[in-house]
Structure 1
Amino acid sequence: MEVILLFIVLWYGGLFFQTFFLHRYAAHQSFTMSKTAEKITYFLTWLFQGANYLSAYGYGVMHRMHHAYADTEKDPHSPKYDENVFAMMWRTKSTYQNINKKKIAIDDKFTKNVPQWFRFDAFASSYYSRIFWTVLYILFFMKFATTWWLWLFLPLIILMAPIHGVIINWYAHIYGYVNFKVKDTSKNLLPFDFLMMGEAYHNNHHKHGSNANFGGVRWHEIDPTYVIMKVLNKLQLIKIKS
C-alpha cells in the first residue's frame, strides 16, 4: 500500500509542477508570481520530481521550440520524424541537455524571460542529486515492497518525468480527437483528463498556447491544474493572465 501511495503522490505531484511551473509558467508565462514564490516552486519541483528533475530553463526553451516547429524536422520531439518512441525520447533528452547546458545557439525568441536559477539547477540536475533520490526510493522499496510485483513501480518512479513527456509528445500526436484544425498532429488524448492534469488536452493547447486553461472547449474537458491555479489566483499567490 505504501509503495502505491508513493507512486500516486509522485505521479500527480511531479506532473503538477511540470505542467504548472515548467510548462504554463516557464514556457508560456500564462501567469505571474513573485520571485520568492518562484524559488519555492523550484524547490517543490525538485522535491516531487526527484531523480527526474527538469530545469525550467531547459524545458521552457525546448517547449517553445516544439510549438514553433511542431511536427517538422526541427521539432525536438515528434512521432512524425522519429522512428519509434525510444528514438524520440533519446533525441528529446539530447536536445534538452544541449539547451540546458547552453551547448547550442538558440534564437532569442525562445529564451526571452524564461526563468533560470543556474545554481539550483546545477545542484538539482546533478548526478549527486539524482543518485540521492534513487537511493531514497530503493530504501523505501526495501522497507515497504512486500511482494515482488511492487518493485515494478521503481523504474516508473525513477523515469517518471520522461514517461509523462512520452504520453503527451508521442501518443497525443497519434491518438485522440481534435477540436481545432492546426498545422500539426496534436490531439486531445483523453476526453476527461484525470490522468495527466490537463496536459492531455494537447490539441486545445496547440491552438491557444498562452491560455492558462487547457480544457474548457467541451463540457467534459475539465483541466485539474487550471482549477488549482484559480484557487492560487484567488489567494493572490499567482496572477493568471488569461
Structure 2
Amino acid sequence: MNSATQARPSLVEMFSNRQSRMGIFFFLVMLSFHIGALQIFNFQWSWFAFGIFFISYVMKIVGVTMGYHRYFAHRSFKTSRFFQFIMALAGSSAIQGGVLWWAGHHRGHHHHSDEEEDLHSPVTHSIFHSHLGWMWARDCFKPIKYKLLDFARFPEIRFLNKNYVLLMIIQGLSFYLLGEYLGQAYPLLQTSGWQVFVWGFLFATVWTWHITFSINSICHLFGSKRYNSHDESRNNWLFAILAFGEGWHNNHHKYGWSARNGFFWWEWDPIYYMLKVLEKLGIVWDLRTPSPAQLVDINS
C-alpha cells in the first residue's frame, strides 16, 4: 500500500508506539537545532566563530561520509579496530542517528533505490519527505532489515550506536565549555560559550544535515547521469564540492562498493584523497576502486 493512502494514526496511537515516539523525538530535536542555529544572527560577525564552525563541519562531514558511509555502509576499505571506533565517533558528531542504524538503512537504500521500499527517494515520495520528512516517519524506526552483523559484534560500536543521544549532549556541552574557557583565557578572541555553542554545534550540525540530506533528495533529481544505475541517481558538481565528493552520486550508485566517488581527475573527491594519505600512513588499506575498464562501461 502506498504510504500516502495509509490511515493516519491517532494521537494516542502515536504516543503509545515506540517508532512514532522516536519520530516525534527526531522532529523536536531537528526543530530545536534549526531555531537555535538562527541565533548566529544575534552575534557580531567573527572570523574566529566561523573557523570554529568550519572545523566542526569538516569533522562532521568526514565522519559521516568516510566513516558512516564509505566504511560502515559499504566496506570500501579496511582499517584497524581503533580507527574504526574513531570514525564511528566522528560520524556520531553529525547527529544523524547511531552508526549501525544509519549504515543499515543506507544498505537498504541501495537494495531498493528509488523503489517504494526506499524511505528517502524523491521519485516515490515528495522531495521534502526524501530530504527531511522520512526521519520523522514511523517506518524509519522499524527493525532494520539489513543489519550490520559484521560491525555489531564490536561492543564499542554497539555502545556508540545505542548512546548517540548521550553523545549529542556531551558534544553540545563540550562546545559551550570550550567557548567559556577561550573567552576567559584569551579575551582578544571576544568569544563566549554561547557563541561557540551556536556556531560550532548548532549551526554546523544543521549545515551538515542539509548538505548530506541533499544527496538523498537533490542528487536523485538534478544533475547528470553517466551510468545506467537502474535508478535516478545523478552526479551533481555543487554537492560534490559541499559534501566532499558525495555529490558524484550516479558514480556511487553504479559502484557503491568503491572507496572513490570521483572517478576522473576533474571530479573533486577529498574523502578519497584523505583515504590515500591514510593508506600511505598505514592507517587504512585495501581501498576498493573500479578498474579503468569498468569506468568506461556506462551501460552494463
- TM-score between the two structures when normalised by the length of structure 1: 0.80
CA drift at 1:94: 4.5
Which of 7, 21, 24 aligns to 2:67? It is 21
Query: For residue 280 of structure 2, what is the aligned residue in structure 1?
Result: 234
Shift in alpha-carbon separation, 1:96–1:229, aligned structure 2, 3 A: farther
Q: Does 1:66 align with 2:104?
A: no
Which of 225, 233, 241 aligns to 1:178? It is 225
1:57-76 Cα distance to aligned partner (Å, 9 max, x none): 11111111111111111002
Query: For residue 143 of structure 2, what is the aligned residue in structure 1?
Result: 104
CA contact (8 A) 2:261 2:272 kept: yes
Structure 1: any 5+ residue segments left out of the alignment?
none
Query: For residue 159 of structure 1, what is the aligned residue in structure 2?
Result: 206
Query: For residue 215 of structure 1, what is the aligned residue in structure 2?
Result: 262
CA drift at 1:53: 5.2
Shift in alpha-carbon separation, 1:105–1:27, aligned structure 2, 3 A: closer
Shift in alpha-carbon separation, 1:74–1:10, aligned structure 2, 3 A: same
Structure ranking higher in helix proportion:
2
Alpha-carbon distance in structure 1 between the residues aligned to 2:61 and 2:236:
16
CA contact (8 A) 1:168 1:200 kept: yes
Alpha-carbon distance in structure 1 between the residues aligned to 2:79 and 2:108:
24
CA contact (8 A) 1:16 1:225 kept: yes
The 5 Å alignment of 1:140-159 reads 140=179, 144=191, 155-159=202-206
Alpha-carbon distance in structure 2 between the residues aligned to 1:191 and 1:84:
18
Structure 2: any 5+ residue segments left out of the alignment?
1-46, 184-189, 289-300
Query: What letter corresponds to residue 176 of structure 1 in structure 2?
Result: G
Greater C-alpha radius of gyration: 2
1:28-76 Cα distance to aligned partner (Å, 9 max, x none): 1011111122123333334xx26x2542211111111111111111002
- TM-score between the two structures when normalised by the length of structure 2: 0.66
Percent identity of equivalent pairs = 24
Number of corresponding residues? 227
Q: Does 1:91 align with 2:130?
A: no
Q: Which is bigger in relative contact order (C-alpha 8 A, separation at least 6)?
A: 1
